[in-house]
Amino acid sequence: MDNVALSKLEQKTAVSLALVFGLRMLGLFMIMPVFAIYGRDLIGYSPLWVGIVIGAYGLTQAILQIPMGQLSDRIGRKPVIIAGLGLFCVGSIVAGMADSVYGVAFGRIIQGTGAVASAILALAADITREQQRPKVMAVIGMCIGLSFAFSLVAGPVLAQWIGLKGIFFVTAALAIVGMLVVHYIVPNSTTKAPAGDASTNSKKLRAMLRNPQLLRLDVGIFLLHLTLTAVFVSLPFELEAAGLVGEHHWWVYFPALLLSFVLMVPMLIIAAKKKMNKQFFLFSIALMGLALCVMGFASGSVWLFALAIVLYFTAFNFLEASLPAMISMSAPAGAKGSAMGIYSTSQFAGAFCGGIIAGSLYSQLGAQGLFFIIAAVMIVWFVISLGLENVGQVKAHTIAVTIANQREAELIAEKLISLSGINEAVVVLEEQVAYLKATKDFEIDQALNLVREQHRS
């Protein structure tokens, strides 16, 4: 039976790693709602460079996410996380000292080299029990969502008082706080999670790239973050043109985000209870497309933009919360680390491409043309997602086994798959573990008893 509550160590792990992740993402996100307005004094400023600056961090994040995770497998999680936060701090200082958009973009690229997301999630997997791992990941995910929401309010407010340079220096300070939290508060990894939970390898990566379900989800997170960065290339300009000065943009963002969370939570609950993940997923894509069309028609109207932002973030928050869970449930047994590695890379690649594409399109077509083109992209995403499977309530389990050779591994796997409720069983000789995917009501004691009997025989 699964333990109901997190242990004190797991609670400390969840809170401290969520804080580290949140501090880092807050620094990245705060620039998004303000750079288009407050970057005008920089040398070389243009809508294209607004897009490049906003999305630049995604390039190095996408390139380094998997290598940094693999490096943490070899030299340890905390050294990689601290080094990554140090690079993020350096990039923030470089951006804060720059007088041109080129210097700011270079600083954002350096920020992205601190690609520690995979190492943080791997450390969480190392320390927590398999049954409790989803709760820890949920706490981290919730903190990321809250940091994004807070950044949309904090960015405009701070920019009013300390300017764009000040925001970058605050971001550097947040990185230093994160390093202190990792060193003094985050628990050391005393146990090593199986590779399928925490890390990636080339064979599994190739297999993931051939999986149609996972590919559709990876395309989804790519397009989701492409639209996010694209929206913030033009939205600040449009709110300003509608008569709302930059320091007051949070008047729209804050209530819109609160309302979007209120609307999104029932969607998550109904989708889970009724096993309608696919239906709500498609509905959210359509809702996002509708929101972008409203933005296209909202020129000069703060109220229409407010409505569009509510619709957009209701859909965005649902998709952002659903996609990792769908990836986890769809990943083959023993391949969660590889699946999440590709997922994270796709996410940051989308952020980079969104900034570049939006900056170019805004320069040529203006905000209205940009919003309608992104809305058309949502139609493409909707069509691609029609082929998604409606994933049920699948739970992953990892149990230790003692096996001497491949024949014994195959024998235990055959017996495990015969148990009622087991959908997939993979036994890995090198890791001495069995990865199981089972229905929600499956009792793990069945598998544990079977393994014990096998050991005695």
> pLDDT of 260-294, one tens digit each?
989 998 998 898 788 888 999 999 999 999 999 99
The pTM assigned to this predicted structure is 0.83
Q: Give dist(CA 376, CA 96) in Å, integer.
A: 36
Confidence at residue 190, expressed as pLDDT on a 0 to 100 scale:
53
Confidence at residue 402, expressed as pLDDT on a 0 to 100 scale:
81
Nearest to 53 by CA among 113, 105, 94: 105
Query: Residue 256 in contact with residue 304, Cβ under 8 Å?
Result: no
Q: What angle do CA 143, 27, 371 make, to 5 degrees?
A: 90
Confidence at residue 188, expressed as pLDDT on a 0 to 100 scale:
79
Confidence at residue 324, expressed as pLDDT on a 0 to 100 scale:
81
Ramachandran area for residue 344 (φ above 0: left; ψ -120 to 50: alpha; else beta): alpha
Confidence at residue 2, expressed as pLDDT on a 0 to 100 scale:
47
- Give the end-to-end CA distance of the chain in Å, rounded to a whole number: 24
Residues of the chain with pLDDT under 50: 1-3
Q: Give me the sheet containing 433-439, strands edge to edge.
A: 394-400, 433-439, 422-428
